[in-house]
Amino acid sequence: MNRMAQSLVLTLLGGALLRISALSTTYLNYVKPGFRPLLIAAGLVVFLLGVMGLVQEWRRPFVPDRRPPEHGPWADGRAPDAGAREASEDGRDTARENSPDDGHAGHAGHRHGPRVAWLLCLPVMAIFLITPPALGSFAAGRDETPQPRPTVLDGYGALAGDRVTVMPLGEFIGRAWGDTNRSLTGKPVRLAGFVARSKKRGQWYLTRMQLRCCAADAFPLRVAVVGVAPPPDDTWVEVTGTWVATPYDKLPKGTVAPEMKATGLTRVDQPAEPYE
Amino acid sequence: MSDRSSLDWAAEPDSPVPPPTWGRRAPEAQVLPWVFAALVGFLVLGNVLLAPYLTAPALRTWSTIFVAICVQALPFLVFGVALSAAITAFVPASVWNRLLPAKPYAAVPVAGAAGMVLPGCECASVPVASGLMSRGVAPSAALTFLLASPAINPVVLVATAVAFPGEPLMVVARFAASLVVAVLAGWAWQAFGRREWLRVPPRHVPPGQSRHAAFVSAMRHDLLHAGGFLVVGGLAAATLSVVVPRSWLSAVAGVPWLSVLVLALLAVVLSICSEADAFVAASLTAFSPTAKLAFLVVGPMVDLKLIALQAGTFGRAFALRFVPLTFTLAVAVSALVGWALL
């Protein structure tokens, strides 16, 4: 990997980071909102490193290279968009590079960077070519482990009886499971989430993924909806309804999703922050 | 466009004299704008033409998790690489000799305790440890720092306390077990490790190069190198997390010794950042506290992206020995500490 290829990879990587964090809110599909400043800072650093390298390369006067070319000068510099093909060769290259007797700094001096760096093209290509969306019903359906039962908190306030209360799914589940005052009883609420199929007949899951740090640790929050027909999977909806009181205390820890009897359903756009 | 440029060159690959049309710039610089335009054009066109067709749910879920792991880890990696480059370029080696005890066996616990001051996750600690080694710090002490700092820094401990409300013993157990594992692993490396297993990246400011230039070039190299291996780890972690069904987990939750091992392996596979893993552990309600502790102790020390980073930075011979050592120690110590405290 010659210096130009290194700089190009860095520029692309930094550009992709800035593209998803500074120039749009796509980063919310992958990480928590608080990450934005970190992402922008890291993106700027990587981007500047790349651009500085490109500028240096652009200004560097031509010096005839007398070294015997171990591989043609373009062996590394050929169209870097062939990153995927390079990647498949990389396993072998890095294996060689990693053998302890091979001082990898030997040939990695200043002109030749590590070949494994080609792999950095993969996240860039994924960001631009696949444009990974927020996790949806496929990811939610894979995780069948029971939801953690919230610790009992009596800090929940009373709900208005005459008008619809808008609340996050997490709060609904918390009130349903962990509220000794049973504040949800008979109160109309409105929840937002996406549609996911349930194995049980006659109900479907209103779902929202919860993040702790990044999408790799997302897990689904589910409320089982009865009383209205489900729209297709992954449609974002707002459901109005009331809690169906179930004796959760008799069930083992958090094995079911709380149920909701729906009275109204409207389709909505996916919120900018798709996770809770 | 780039194809044509490379053909131009291929016409006379061995000629020491560039064709006269090339002017005075270096050959790479000649095609630079074209390659750049071709790449950006490819990405923009692909974004418009390809993205609407790449919609298989499994592929999209996989790519979301893969991109999420890379995006989440990159700021920490950049931070760690910058710190490591600063250590090599600006901090004279004598500082470490003054700060750390001269005897490696005494330096190991000091380095472990020093792990408390670097608030980062495990991606940051690998380049920093490599920077420390190249500045003459004993490898065993640097390795102890590498293991300890992602697990016992204040950010991680606070996150653990928040994730386990009303269970302060979990924080104590995590701190104690992680520090003990780090120190034991450092001593074990000091006693049995061999010089040739470990590839210490030789780095020094070359004569004639300014400190600033050395900083930038060390940062570039480390970022490309460690970043590439981070991608390897991200690929593996995303694939396993999509392919292996989580329902396998609940099947083994009841068996005490098996559950410890299974959660330890899960920590390796998931490769969650150490600042977030406490929340994931807390959500695994079916498992015993000891199993959760194993998850918290193993995760910051051994996981797929970390194995890839370590193999890339210190060599495969190192990772082949160090990873099993740390994993065994981490499982054993967390089982003991969990039995004693939780």
d(CA B176, CA B272): 21
- Whole-number pLDDT of residue A63: 61
Whole-prediction pTM value?
A: 0.77
Range in A188-192, B29-33, B138-142, B192-196 with the lowest mean pLDDT: B29-33
Range in A3-12, B23-32, B75-84, B217-226 with the lowest mean pLDDT: B23-32
Contact B117, B148 (CB under 8 A): no
Contact status of B57 with chain A (Cβ, < 8 Å) = yes
Min CA distance, B102 vs chain A (Å)?
27
Rounded to 5°, the CA angle A202-A206-A209 comes to 145
- Whole-number pLDDT of residue B187: 94
User: What's chain B's length in residues?
Assistant: 342
- Whole-number pLDDT of residue B236: 82
* Closest CB from A64, A144, A213 relative to B276: A213
Q: Which one, of A83, A17, A8, lies nearest residue A51 by Cα?
A: A8
- C-alpha neighbours within 13 Å on the C-beta side of residue A91: 4
Measured between beta carbons, which residues in chain A are less than 8 angstroms from residue B43? 12, 124-125, 128-129
- Whole-number pLDDT of residue A91: 39
Q: Which residues pair with A137 in a beta bridge?
A: none
Please report the residues numbered 191 through 220 in chain A whose beta carbons come closer than 8 angstroms to any beta carbon of chain B: 212-217, 219
Residue type, B27: P
- Whole-number pLDDT of residue A114: 76
- ipTM, two decimals, is 0.80
Q: How many other CB atoms sit within 10 Å of the CB of residue B203? A: 22
Helix/strand/coil percent split, chain A, to 5: 40, 15, 40
Contact A222, A257 (CB under 8 A): yes
Tell me which residue has tokens 């000649």: B30
- Whole-number pLDDT of residue A90: 39
d(CA A96, CA A104): 9
Contact A25, A136 (CB under 8 A): no
Span B305-315, mean pLDDT? Answer: 89
Range in A17-21, A29-33, B51-55, B246-250 with the lowest mean pLDDT: B246-250
Measured between beta carbons, which residues in chain B are less than 8 angstroms from residue A57? 26, 28-29, 32
Contact status of B67 with chain A (Cβ, < 8 Å) = yes
Q: Where are the domains of chain B?
A: 2-53, 59-341
Note the pLDDT tens digit of each residue in B176-226.
999 999 999 999 999 998 888 888 766 655 666 788 888 888 888 888 888
The proportion of chain B whose per-residue pLDDT surpasses 70, expressed as a percent, equals 86
Q: pLDDT-based confidence at B25, cuts 50/70/90? A: low
Please report the residues numbered 166 through 185 in chain A whose beta carbons come closer than 8 angstroms to any beta carbon of chain B: none
Contact A72, B41 (CB under 8 A): no
* Closest CB from A8, A133, A146 relative to B35: A8
**Residue range(s) occupied by CATH 2.40.50 in chain A:** 139-267
> Greater confidence, B293 or B239?
B293
Measured between beta carbons, which residues in chain B are less than 8 angstroms from residue A4? 28-29, 32, 35
Q: What are phi and psi of A41, to 5 degrees?
A: -60, -50
> Greater confidence, B121 or A35?
A35
> A73 and B276 in contact by Cβ < 8 A?
no
> A123 and B270 in contact by Cβ < 8 A?
no
> Greater confidence, B261 or A181?
B261
- C-alpha neighbours within 13 Å on the C-beta side of residue B179: 17
CA distances from B219 to A3, B77, B80, B89, B201 (A): 14, 11, 10, 10, 13
> A52 and B22 in contact by Cβ < 8 A?
no
Contact B271, B69 (CB under 8 A): yes
Inter-axis angle of helices B304-314 and B211-243, to 10 degrees? 140
Helix/strand/coil percent split, chain B, to 5: 80, 0, 20
Span B232-246, mean pLDDT? Answer: 80
Q: Which tokens is B37 given?
A: 């335009």
- The torsion angle over the Cα atoms of residues B143, B145, B150 and B156, rounded to 10 degrees, is 150
- The torsion angle over the Cα atoms of residues B65, A14, B128 and B321, rounded to 10 degrees, is 40
> A17 and B238 in contact by Cβ < 8 A?
no
Task: List, run by run, the mean pLDDT of 10-residue segments along chain A (276 residues).
Answer: 86 93 91 90 95 86 55 42 40 38 38 77 90 88 64 70 86 80 85 90 89 81 90 92 75 70 92 88
- Whole-number pLDDT of residue B54: 80
* Closest CB from B66, B227, B245 relative to A117: B227
SS3 assignment for B188-218: HHHHHCCHHHCCCCCCCCCCCCCHHHHHHHH
DSSP three-state, residue A125? helix
Min CA distance, B195 vs chain A (Å)?
10
Q: What are phi and psi of B90, to 5 degrees?
A: -110, -25
Q: Which tokens is B234 given?
A: 């991200």
A69: nearest CA in chain B?
Answer: B14
Instruction: Classify domain A139-267 at the CATH topology level.
Output: OB fold (Dihydrolipoamide Acetyltransferase, E2P) (2.40.50)
Please report the residues numbered 177 through 236 in chain B whose beta carbons come closer than 8 angstroms to any beta carbon of chain A: 196-199, 201-202, 216-217, 219-221, 223-225, 227-229, 231-232, 234-235
> A129 and B47 in contact by Cβ < 8 A?
yes
d(CA A236, CA B64): 19
> Greater confidence, B278 or B338?
B338
Is the pLDDT at B41 greater than 80? The verdict is: yes
Q: pLDDT-based confidence at B160, cuts 50/70/90? A: confident
Strands of A23-168, DSSP E: 165-166
d(CA A115, CA B338): 43
- Whole-number pLDDT of residue A77: 40
Burial class (CB in 10 A: 0-12, 13-18, 19+), B245: exposed
Q: pLDDT-based confidence at B14, cuts 50/70/90? A: low
Span B83-99, mean pLDDT? Answer: 81
Q: How many other CB atoms sit within 10 Å of the CB of residue B287? A: 23
d(CA B69, CA B233): 9
Tell me which residue has tokens 């993040």: A211
How high does pLDDT run on average in chain B?
82
Is the pLDDT at B20 greater than 80? The verdict is: no
> A129 and B50 in contact by Cβ < 8 A?
yes
Measured between beta carbons, which residues in chain B are less than 8 angstroms from residue A232? none
